[in-house]
Amino acid sequence: MAIGTLVLLRHGESVWNAQNLFTGWVDVPLSEKGTAEAIRGGTLLREAGILPDVVHTSLQRRAINTAHLALDAADRAWIPVKRDWRLNERHYGALQGKDKKQTLAEFGEEQFMLWRRSYDVPPPPIERGSEFSQDADPRYAGLGADLPLTECLKDVVTRLVPYWESEIVPDLRAGRTVLIGAHGNSLRALVKHLDGISDSDIAGLNIPTGIPLRYDLTEDLAPTTPGGTYLDPDAAAAAISAVANQGR
Ligand SMILES: O=C(O)[C@@H](CO)OP(=O)(O)O
């Protein structure tokens, strides 16, 4: 059977995106704007005639609720769902809960960008038991030594690719249209993997909230259009530069 279509959907704006705070694994809800973005994402799916057969999400409510709102708008709220921590946002370590602008002012451009966009430099680890740590969160109780206290993008690739290969690729190979509801940095990790983007070039790639990104893949899982296709390219371009400029 032909390989199915893949659609990546970053959650709509969260209340912490709106406040410009590093979020990572903190389970913040969507803002009102983010809720509207999620519904519009579903409208774009419907208008493009894309009918997801299965949805994969992280364990975080902004991705779970975005995927649900989008599927509801596309009249596909009934499809099977699989959720896994491996699709979670990158763990932002001790930066979780910190203001991006203040962090930039305190540590300077170079350190700020190393933490935010370098491939292999993680922020300092979060302290166990501190306000924005997830070490006591019951949804991660089974992770044991896998529970991160900080992550760089490379760590996200390492934990995400096994899930891609074991859970998502089989759905695609069965001819299904797969929606992934996830996050800015977990989707950057997946796009890096799919498009073969270099460790240095990935720093320049940003993913906008709430705009579906469609990939058609060959049998070898190579994108037929490198970088995929946003269902609303103009809105995506504007939103991408806004993400890139956060903190400024
Ligand atoms: O705070 C975060 O978790 C992420 C995504 O919102 O931010 P950034 O784009 O700075 O990596």
What is the ipTM for the molecules in this complex? 0.95
Contact 17, 206 (CB under 8 A): no
Task: Determine the Cα–Cα distance for residues 101 and 129; give it in Å rounded to an integer.
Answer: 25
Are the C-beta atoms of 49 and 122 separated by less than 8 Å?
no
Residue of 11, 56, 68, 183 with catalytic role = 11
Residue 233 has pLDDT above 80, yes or no: yes
Look at the pTM and tell me if it is higher than 0.95: yes
Q: Which of 14, 16, 20, 23 to probe ligand 1 with, by most ligand atoms within 8 A of CB? A: 23
Nearest CA to ligand 1 atom 5: 184
State which H helix or E strand residue 7 sits in: strand 5-10
Active site residue 183: no
Give residue 22 CA to ligand 1 midpoint distance, Å: 6
Burial class (CB in 10 A: 0-12, 13-18, 19+), 40: buried
246 pLDDT tier (thresholds 50, 70, 90) = confident
Does 154 count as an annotated binding residue? no
Distance 185 CA to ligand 1 centre (A): 7
pLDDT tens digit string along 39-56? 999 999 999 999 999 999
If phi > 0 it is left, if psi is from -120 to 50 it is alpha, else beta; for residue 88 that is beta
CB-ligand 1 contact for 232 (6 Å cutoff): no
Is position 193 annotated as part of the catalytic site?
A: no
Residue 11 labelled as part of a binding site: yes
Q: Where are the domains of the chain?
A: 5-21+29-91+151-244
pLDDT bucket at 151, cuts 50 / 70 / 90: very high
Q: Rounded to the nearest whole angstrom, what is the distance from the C-alpha of residue 1 to the centroid of ligand 1?
A: 37
* In CATH, 5-21+29-91+151-244 is 3.40.50.1240: yes
